[in-house]
Amino acid sequence: MSLTLRPMTESDWSEWISVDEEAFGNAFPAHRVGLFRNNTEFDRSLGAFEGGRLVGVTAVCSFTMTVPGGPIPVGGVTAVGVLPSHRRRGVLTALMTRQLADLHERGEAVAALYASEAAIYGRFGYGRAADTLFFDIPTRGTALAPHAPADPALRLRIVRPAESREVFEKVFEAALDSRPGLYARTSARWDAVLSDHEADQNGAGPLRAVVAEDDGGPRGYALFRIKAGVTEHDEPDGELRLKELFGLDPAAYALLWRHLLERDLVARVKAWSRPSDDPLIHLLAEPRRLRAGWLDDLWVRIVDVERALPARRYAAPVDVVVEVEDTVCPWNAGRWRLTAGTGAARCAPTGEAADLVLPVTALGAAYLGGRSLTALQAAGVVREARAGAVRELSAALSWEPAPWAGLVF
């Protein structure tokens, strides 16, 4: 099959949407297409054309993302799709390989994505770097533990989301550097977060919000919807669906959760994307009431080892020679000496013997600090040549709190 790869233009837009709708088996509401369009950087898109017909697509969002130690530029890969008629014909491989080369040429050392199918992206060097929890909490009989923090200066204020955007933005900006994986939101991204079209509601009513604040200003907020309901015996059976919640301190965080769990006529609270170390785990008097499940969040790809490893901070001193296996980005393959202490980390190619050997997927999985290399060693993914080297590097790469992006892009 002869493919032509090129960035897409405005004139390709309707065909682009058709390819993604076919690939995902979905019909996107018109307003969602418009929101996606507003977040699209056409010069960072890539289309695969066969005989002039678009058969595969992908794109990149230019992000500033928090990694251990601070923010760095990250390429957010999105909208990856291939027509079902062209599966297993090399279209996706051509797109992903070209995209990684473009990212490298642009100077972005790290890429990240949300995977629609988790089995796909390991082939292209992406590693599962962050996890997310989902909760299904029955409100009856659920309470916060006696030790839950409180601040008498705090108060709650019910607000209209469309009128309170500046409050949400202020809180989010203050929280941005607190956790690896969080990324700065553009105005267009906030438009998507606060979109309240009927199709966004999914039968759960309008977007609602509550703000936790004191005389100094906002200290947290929650965005949610409530699907009203009653049982056959006319008992309240409402379902509160949490969209997002950020608290800048423990007391504000606890107060927001208390409010959600104590809303009148609500029988359960559902939250689909929460950090794997969510403080709520320790705030409930009975943590089993969370009824939690576990899924993958961000997948990370190291595009340039030499630049990515010094771009973050390390939790412990480290001096190791790492042999990286990378068939998709050959400039990464080889041995690298990583040294980090109290100052800036350094990473340089070396001819020294390797202390450990790992695929680039493992390096991406550990990059945000939430994946143990010793666990990957136990799974046979990482191989040790010098005793103790894996544990040394794993400790240095670790970071708290756990990584989490919290918003699919």
Residues annotated as part of the active site? 121, 409
The 10 Å Cβ neighbour count of residue 340 is: 23
Q: Phi, psi at residue 320, to the nearest 5°?
A: -135, 155
Binding residues for acetyl-CoA: 80-82, 88-93, 116-117
CA distances (Å), origin 359, targets 124, 135, 167, 181, 393: 11, 33, 43, 21, 14
Binding residues: 80-82, 88-93, 116-117
Using only C-alpha atoms, what is the Rg of the chain?
A: 23
- DSSP alpha helix (H) spans, 161-313: 165-175, 187-193, 198-201, 250-261, 280-283, 305-308
81 within 8 A of 23, measured Cβ to Cβ? yes
Q: What is the DSSP string of 153-190?
A: T-EEEEE-GGG-HHHHHHHHHHHGGGSTT-BPPPHHHH
308 within 8 A of 110, measured Cβ to Cβ? yes
Q: Phi, psi at residue 298, to the nearest 5°?
A: -75, 145
- The one-letter amino acid code at 120 reads I
